[in-house]
Each structure stands twice: as structure tokens, then as C-alpha cells.
Amino acid sequence: MLTLEGRTAVITGAARGQGAETARLFARLGARVVLGDIRDDLGETVAAEIGDAALYTPLDVTDESRWAAAVDIALDAFGGLDILVNNAGIFRSMPLRDESPEAFESTLRINLVGPFLGIRAVREPMIRAGGGSIVNISSIAGLTGIARTGGYGASKWGLRGLTKVAALELGEYGIRVNSVHPGIIDTPMVEGIAPPAGPGNHPGVALRRTGLPQDVAGLVAFLASDASAYLTGAEIAVDGGSTAGRAPAVTPTA
Ligand code: NAD
């Protein structure tokens, strides 16, 4: 059932990291993909690697006019729009006392207003198509409080809430809306902050390793596909068990 054959997706923040990996997996599963980002050179490269099933378009998620252009590209070039992955985001880490109102607001603008504009942009085409799937990439910082993530945590909790509202409002049109909450995933966003990928490198989580972009992409593909046809308004952590509780420091022998 895990196929995206005949589907068209818009993925934001697709020039690198989880967004690029999700675009690659979607294409392997049969989808056509519009990749949006502000890193144009990287985005063009990823789209070219994927081939005919992919197109890159400059898409600053805070710019409503660019959203309209991305939707038009999906409709004109690929003949539809069935999936939106609101993946673009920025991460800032600092204590509240050091976070300027401008920094706080700009994080909210990219991580929360961006997905809001995306949902608005795809609403009509998805209704016309008889349904769709919207996947919002939040974070474990949107499931629990994490110190030094004031603006980031607020944006990710906000996205989790926006997901529920959109699921309730769009369900009658067959549009499903779910949120994904990655733990620490080895991408450029956390380079130098997170333990690099590798078995046993992250003792604080149940699976004892940092996540990989493909760990997230697999879940996003499931949520985008008909394999999750009765799933909406849900929040799913993909975090190696880090929000399940505290991993034991030493593996018990019995
Ligand atoms: P990344 O930094 O590698 O990729 C993010 C992409 O978003 C970049 O290509 C960047 O250019 C793009 N972007 C930034 N601002 C944008 C804007 N205004 N418009 C369009 N694109 C923009 O990071 P990633 O780890 O792949 O992050 C993807 C998503 O996953 C983000 O929403 C992030 O908050 C979330 N997340 C990441 C982790 C992690 O540990 N890596 C953990 C939890 C959640």
C-alpha cells in the first residue's frame, strides 16, 4: 500500500536535510515532486538528481506570492496537487533572556506562519481534487518543553496546534493533516550540536542512535500515502524513543 504513484507533492525546505531525503523517497515511490526552498543552487541540484519527476522552485515560505507560484507549478507541470509537506524551518537556541523579540518573531514567521500560508495555498486545489494529505514537520520541542528553545519551541507547539485545527476544518473534504515530531536527526541544522550519526552514539534515547533523514522520510511517506487513510489530526514522534521516557544508562542483564 505504500505507494505514491500518480500523486504530486510540494515539499518545502527540500534543498537539503530531511526535505531533500523526503523528495528522493517520494520520487522512488512514484510521486512527482515540487521542491521549494531559499537555497536555490542546492535545491536545483537535488531536483536534477531526482530527474524528470522533480522540479525546483524558489519558495520562501513566508512569501504568499511564492506559495501561489509553487501551487501553479504543481498544477501546470504535473497536473495536480495531492500532498504538501511543510518541512522548511530554522533552529535557534538561546536562553529567553538573550532572545530578541525580532529573533523570536522571525522564527515564528518561518516555522509557523509559513506552514499556515502553505495550508491556505493548497486548500482550494486539494478540495477540487477531492482530498489530499498535509504533513507538518514539528519537533519533539513541540511535544515537551526544551530549555533554550523559546521561539523555536513556541513555533513547533504552535504548528502542532495548527495541525489539529486544519484537520478538523479540512476533514470533510478528504484532506488529512498530521504532524511529525522528529527527535535529533543528523542534518546540517544540528551539525556540531548533536551527536553525529552512528550506532550507539546517542545513549540518551531508547534506540541508542541519532536519527537519520530517511527515518523521518519514511514516516512522512506513510502519512502522505493511502496507507494512513484513516489518520488525521495525529501527532507522531520519530525520535528513537526519546520522548518515551528516560533510557537506562546500563542495559540490564536480566
Ligand atoms: P536543514 O537546515 O538541513 O533544512 C531546512 C531547510 O529549510 C533548508 O534547506 C533551508 O534552506 C530551508 N529554509 C529555511 N528557511 C526557509 C524559508 N523561509 N523558506 C523556505 N525554506 C527555508 O534542517 P532539517 O533538519 O532537515 O529540518 C527540517 C525540519 O525538521 C525543520 O522544520 C526542523 O525544524 C525540523 N526538525 C529537525 C530536527 C533535527 O534534529 N534535524 C529535529 C526536529 C525537527
- Asked if 242 and 232 touch (Cβ cutoff 8 Å), the reply is no
pTM metric for this prediction? 0.98
Give tens-digit pLDDT for 130-158. 999 999 999 999 999 999 999 999 999 99
**Average pLDDT for the chain:** 96
Ligand 1 centroid, distance to 229 Cα (angstroms):
27
CA distances from 138 to 92, 123, 154, 250 (A): 14, 20, 10, 31
- Model pLDDT, residue 224: 98
Residue 253: the pLDDT is 64
For residue 188 and ligand 1, the question of a CB distance below 6 A is answered with yes
Q: For residue 1, name the pLDDT band (cuts at 50, 70, 90).
A: low
Sign of CA dihedral 58, 64, 68, 74: positive
pLDDT value of position 204: 85
CA distance 242 to 228: 24
Look at the block and give the residue holding cell 507533492. 9
Pick the atom of ligand 1 nearest to 39's CA.
Answer: 11
Based on the residue annotation, tell me whether 56 is a catalytic residue of this protein: no
Active-site choice (56, 152, 173, 230): 152
Is the C-beta atom of 37 inside 6 A of ligand 1? yes
Angle at 142 between CA 136 and CA 143, to 5 degrees: 115
What pLDDT score was predicted for residue 244?
A: 96
Q: In sequence order, which residues have a C-beta less than 8 Å from that of residue 132 and are 6 or more positions away?
A: 81, 82, 83, 84, 122, 126, 174, 175, 176
Distances (CA, A) of 196 to 83, 211, 244: 31, 9, 22
Written as one string, the DSSP assignment of 45-100 is HHHHHH-TTEEEEE--TT-HHHHHHHHHHHHHHHS---EEEE-------B-GGG--
Span 214-250, pLDDT tens digits: 999 999 999 999 999 999 999 999 999 999 998 877 6
Distance of CA 11 to the CA centre of its chain: 8
- Strand 175-182 relative to strand 132-137, pairing: parallel
d(CA 190, CA 71): 30
Q: What dihedral do alpha carbons 114, 117, 119, 124 form, nearest 10°?
A: -160
* Ligand 1 contact, 189 CB (< 6 A): yes
How far, in Å, is the centroid of ligand 1 from the Cα of 199? 24
Q: What is the DSSP letter of 20?
A: H
Residue 200 in this model has a pLDDT that exceeds 80:
yes
Q: Is 89 in the pocket of ligand 1 (CB under 6 A)?
A: yes
Question: How many other C-beta atoms are found inside a 10 Å radius of the C-beta of residue 198?
Answer: 10
Q: CA–CA separation, 197 vs 212, rounded Å?
A: 7
- Other CB atoms within 10 A of residue 41 CB: 9
Q: What is the pLDDT of residue 233?
A: 99
